[in-house]
Structure 1
Amino acid sequence: MKLLVNIDVPDVREAEAFYTGAFGLTPARRFGDDGVELLGFEAPLYLLRKDAGSIGAGKAARDYARHWTPVHCDVAVDDLDAALARALAAGATQDSPIRQANWGRIVTIADPFGHGWCLLQFLGRGYDEIATP
């Protein structure tokens, strides 16, 4: 099996500029004006043009204001402060202060389209610090 990550955005070019700037991803394939495949994460990231107000899952209309979803992506980085600065410079907003945990450091951000992301920096043994045998 292979995981593909798809993100709905109202403007593919604007989203591509954010994701290449914030995370250093590289465009691989374009699908006209309706999508782009970005590489650089362990799974390919597809930005798909879906107009605001169009129907998404169920009967809910797409809304690109900051929103909550039970599914989100974490980006593990070597230097959280540098990664946060890069994401903010690309247009992200910071949702929370940087927090320290037994396993490392975390900060939550949102892309310009309201999608939430976590930036993580593992310290020590990472999640093994809190894993149960």
Structure 2
Amino acid sequence: MASIQPELWVDGAATAVEFYAAAFGARVLHRVGDGEDVVAQLDVGGAVFWVVQADAGRRRLSPPAAGGTTGRVLLVVDDPEAVHARAVAAGATATSAVAPEHGWLVGRIVDPFGHEWEIGRPG
């Protein structure tokens, strides 16, 4: 068995956990820490990722501190339109509406912490 569980470095990790719960319906699997300085493992329908407080001293830069982002997360869901709309309602910025592209139905957002997401499904 293999899996990839990305770790997102954010300014305000506890606030980010709340955003991902509201935007994507994320469930907290594991959480440690106090205040905004938390480490949390989240699950969105079997897609697992981590949210961690950014720390420049440990070279863990949030997108704003890095001056941009170095990648994008693709969240594969059954209903991209609904999840895209929910994320925008929770505070994300839509960068493209959900539409057919390269054999996928996909839309893009930037979350309030600067991370880019594609929300889509094949077909």
Give how far 1:106 is off. Answer: 1.3
Q: Quick one: structure 1 residues 4 and 63, their matched pair in 2 at CA, closer, same or farther if it must change by over 3 Å?
A: closer
3-state SS of paired residue (1:68): coil
Give how far 1:7 is off. Answer: 0.5
- Does residue 44 in structure 1 map to residue 48 in structure 2? yes
3-state SS of paired residue (2:23): helix
RMSD value, Cα: 2.2
Give the structure 2 partner of residue 126 of structure 1: none
3-state SS of paired residue (1:98): strand
Gaps of 5+ in 1: 124-133
TM-score of the two chains, using structure 1 as the length reference: 0.74
Give the structure 2 partner of residue 83 of structure 1: 83
Give the structure 2 partner of residue 72 of structure 1: 72
The separation in 1 between residues aligned to 2:78 and 2:62, in whole angstroms, is 34
The answer to whether the 8 A contact 1:67-1:116 is kept is: no
How many pairs align? 117
The separation in 2 between residues aligned to 1:62 and 1:92, in whole angstroms, is 16
The answer to whether the 8 A contact 2:106-2:121 is kept is: yes
Give the structure 1 partner of residue 16 of structure 2: 15
The separation in 1 between residues aligned to 2:89 and 2:76, in whole angstroms, is 18
Q: Quick one: structure 1 residues 2 and 32, their matched pair in 2 at CA, closer, same or farther if it must change by over 3 Å?
A: same
Give how far 1:95 is off. Answer: 1.0
Instruction: Answer with 1 or 2: which has the greater Rg.
Output: 1
Q: Percent identity?
A: 30
Report which of the two has the higher share of helix. Answer: 2
The answer to whether the 8 A contact 2:10-2:63 is kept is: no
The separation in 1 between residues aligned to 2:4 and 2:10, in whole angstroms, is 19
- 1:81-120 maps to which residues of 2 (within 5 A)? 81-120=81-120
The answer to whether the 8 A contact 1:12-1:35 is kept is: yes
- Does residue 122 in structure 1 map to residue 86 in structure 2? no
The separation in 2 between residues aligned to 1:13 and 1:28, in whole angstroms, is 14
Report which of the two has the higher share of strand. Answer: 2
